[in-house]
Amino acid sequence: MKNLLYILLFVPFLFVASCEENEIQGCVDYNACNYNTSATSDDGSCEYTEQGYDCGGNIIAEIGDEFQGGILFYLNETGEHGLISAIEDIGNYPWGCYETNLNYADGQVIGSGLQNSLDIVLGCPERPIAASEALAYECEGYSDWYLPSKLELFEMYLTIGPQTNFSDISMLSDTAYWSSTKANSTTSWFVYFDINFGSSGSTSRINDYKVRPIRSF
């Protein structure tokens, strides 16, 4: 009887000690980069990737995905750099400085929008204008937005415009948007985001057209 009582009192302590000895601390969330398949108890060490990246730091975001404060609409041939559209239009503004022959601000290709925007605000004191508002835009901690060049803007139309499957995400309108590319001293380039067939042209800088900022990474 005495031996039985000893066993009943002592066995629970053996069980507790055994459980504690077998416990393995680590990350138990399989969505984490450092998920530990052997861990039995979470120790708060789980590490996660930034949205749009895998655990190796590679970009996995695709065109139309929410990424770095906006919507990804262009990736270069390396897949490491690209362009992001803001998630919203920021209003209608004139291009500015009608009959002013600004230096530069004539880049059309992808990659020239930021320099165009800087050239515009440097040479045009009018405010608010399309370029100044794009450069002043801030969203989700990002403040490096600018007015897209002609071909950057047309790329946006082609990939996430109102005629694409991403129209509900981008909320781009079937209307004209200003680019940062000048044509001459009185006109600058715009892109019309037609739901059927996009087009571009140059028009008077005094016109109020929509502005959609972009940023690069």
CA 6 vs. chain centroid, Å, equals 67
Query: What backbone torsions phi and psi does residue 44 show, to the nearest 5 degrees?
Result: 75, 15
Q: Distance between CA atoms of 56 and 160, rounded to whole angstroms? A: 28
Asked whether the whole model's pTM tops 0.85, one would answer no
CB 27 within 8 A of CB 46: yes
Q: Where are the domains of the chain?
A: 2-42, 66-216
Tokens 């969203």 belong to residue: 139
**CA torsion sign, 150 to 66 to 176 to 195?**
positive
Residues 110-159 have pLDDT tens digits of 999 999 999 999 999 999 999 999 999 999 999 999 999 999 999 999 99
Q: Three-state DSSP class for 133?
A: helix
pLDDT above 90 covers a percentage of the chain that reads 73
Residues 52-103 have pLDDT tens digits of 887 887 889 999 999 999 999 999 999 999 999 999 999 999 999 999 999 9
